[in-house]
A and B are shown apart, each in its own frame.
Chain A
Amino acid sequence: MTEYRDLDNKYTAGFSTNVESEDFAPGLDVDVIKRLSAIKNEPEWVTEFRLKSFEHLQKIQEPNWANVNYNPIDYQSLSYYSAPKIRSKEDIPQEILDTFDKLGVPLHERDSLLGIEDTNKIPTVAVDAVFDSVSIATTFQEELKRHGIIFCSMSEAIQEHSELVKEYLGSVVPPKDNYFACLNSAVFTDGTFCYIPPGVKCPMELNTYFRINARNTGQFERTLIIADADSYVSYLEGCTAPAYDENTLHAAVVELVTHDRAEIKYSTVQNWYPGDENGVGGVLNFVTKRGLCKGESSKISWTQVETGSAVTWKYPSCILRGNNSIGEFYSVAVTKGKQQADTGTKMFHVGKNTKSTIISKGISFGDSSNTYRGMVRINKSAKESRNYTQCDSLMLDNSKALTLPVVMQYNNNSIVEHEASTGKLSEDALYYLQSRGFSEEDAVNCIVSGFCKDVFQHLPLEFAAEANKLLSVTLEGAVG
Chain B
Amino acid sequence: MLVTQEFTVKVDGNIILDDLHLDFGPGIHVVMGPNGVGKSTFAHALMGNPKYQTEGAVQIDGKDLMCLETHERAQAGLFLSFQHPTPIEGLSNFQFLRQAIKTSSIANSLSTYRELLSEFNLPEGFERKSLNVEASGGEQKKNEIIQMLMLDPKVAILDEPDSGLDVDAINVLSKQLTKFANQQNKTLIVITHYQQLIEKLSPESITIFKNKRAKQFDDISIAYEILENGFGIDV
| A→B interface (CB under 8 Å) | 1-2, 426-429, 431-440, 442-443, 446-447, 449-454
Q: Which chain B residues lie closer than 8 Å to A432 at the CB level? A: 82, 85-86, 88
What are 28 pairs between A and B in contact, CB < 8 Å? A1-B50, A431-B86, A432-B82, A432-B85, A433-B88, A433-B96, A434-B70, A434-B74, A435-B70, A435-B74, A436-B71, A436-B103, A436-B147, A437-B104, A437-B151, A438-B71, A438-B99, A438-B100, A440-B71, A442-B99, A446-B88, A446-B91, A447-B91, A450-B88, A450-B91, A451-B89, A452-B90, A453-B90
- Bound-state CA distance A438–B71 (Å) is 6
B60-87 with Cβ < 8 A to chain A: 69-71, 73-75, 79-80, 82, 85-87
- The smallest beta-carbon distance between B43 and chain A, in angstroms, is 10
A446 touches B96 (CB 8 A): yes
Q: Which chain A residues lie closer than 8 Å to B75 at the CB level? A: 437
Q: Which chain B residues lie closer than 8 Å to A451 at the CB level? A: 89-90
Q: Which chain B residues lie closer than 8 Å to A443 at the CB level? A: 71
A447 touches B88 (CB 8 A): yes
- The smallest beta-carbon distance between B72 and chain A, in angstroms, is 8
- The smallest beta-carbon distance between B86 and chain A, in angstroms, is 4
- The smallest beta-carbon distance between B130 and chain A, in angstroms, is 7
- Bound-state CA distance A2–B122 (Å) is 35
Q: Which chain A residues lie closer than 8 Å to B88 at the CB level? A: 429, 432-433, 446-447, 450
- The smallest beta-carbon distance between B105 and chain A, in angstroms, is 10
Q: A432-B86, A434-B69, A436-B100 are in contact. List 12 more A-B contacts (CB 8 A).
A: A426-B86, A429-B88, A431-B49, A432-B88, A435-B79, A435-B82, A436-B96, A437-B75, A438-B100, A438-B103, A440-B71, A450-B90
B47 at the interface (CB under 8 A from A): yes
Q: Which residue on A lies nearest to B104, using beta carbons? A: A437
A434 touches B96 (CB 8 A): no
- The smallest beta-carbon distance between B106 and chain A, in angstroms, is 12
- Bound-state CA distance A454–B74 (Å) is 30
Interface of B is mostly: mixed
- The smallest beta-carbon distance between A334 and chain B, in angstroms, is 15
Q: Which chain A residues lie closer than 8 Å to B147 at the CB level? A: 436
Q: Which chain B residues lie closer than 8 Å to A453 at the CB level? A: 89-90
B85 touches A431 (CB 8 A): no
Residue of B50, B90, B96, B100 touching A431 (CB-CB under 8 A): B50
Q: Which chain B residues lie closer than 8 Å to A2 at the CB level? A: 50
- Bound-state CA distance A320–B69 (Å) is 53
Tell me whether A439 and B71 are in contact in the complex, defined as CB-CB below 8 angstroms, given that A1-B50, A446-B96 are known contacts: yes
Q: Which chain A residues lie closer than 8 Å to B85 at the CB level? A: 432
- The smallest beta-carbon distance between B188 and chain A, in angstroms, is 16
Residue of B73, B80, B86, B95 touching A428 (CB-CB under 8 A): B86
Q: Which chain B residues lie closer than 8 Å to A450 at the CB level? A: 88-91, 130
Q: Which chain B residues lie closer than 8 Å to A428 at the CB level? A: 86
- Bound-state CA distance A435–B95 (Å) is 16
Counting from the closest, the 5 A-B pairs by CB-CB distance are A450-B90, A437-B103, A453-B90, A450-B91, A437-B74
A436 touches B151 (CB 8 A): yes
Q: Which residue on B lies nearest to A433, using beta carbons? A: B88
B71 touches A437 (CB 8 A): yes
Q: Which chain B residues lie closer than 8 Å to A440 at the CB level? A: 71
Q: Which chain A residues lie closer than 8 Å to B69 at the CB level? A: 434
Tell me whether A434 and B71 are in contact in the complex, defined as CB-CB below 8 angstroms, given that A428-B86, A446-B99, A450-B130 are known contacts: yes
Residue of A1, A435, A442, A454 touching B80 (CB-CB under 8 A): A435
Most buried by A among B47, B70, B82, B100: B70
Q: Which residue on B lies nearest to A457, using beta carbons? A: B90
Q: Which chain A residues lie closer than 8 Å to B49 at the CB level? A: 431
- Bound-state CA distance A84–B86 (Å) is 55
Q: Which residue on B lies nearest to A453, using beta carbons? A: B90
Q: Which chain B residues lie closer than 8 Å to A438 at the CB level? A: 71, 99-100, 103
- The smallest beta-carbon distance between B177 and chain A, in angstroms, is 19
- Bound-state CA distance A454–B130 (Å) is 12
A429 touches B90 (CB 8 A): no
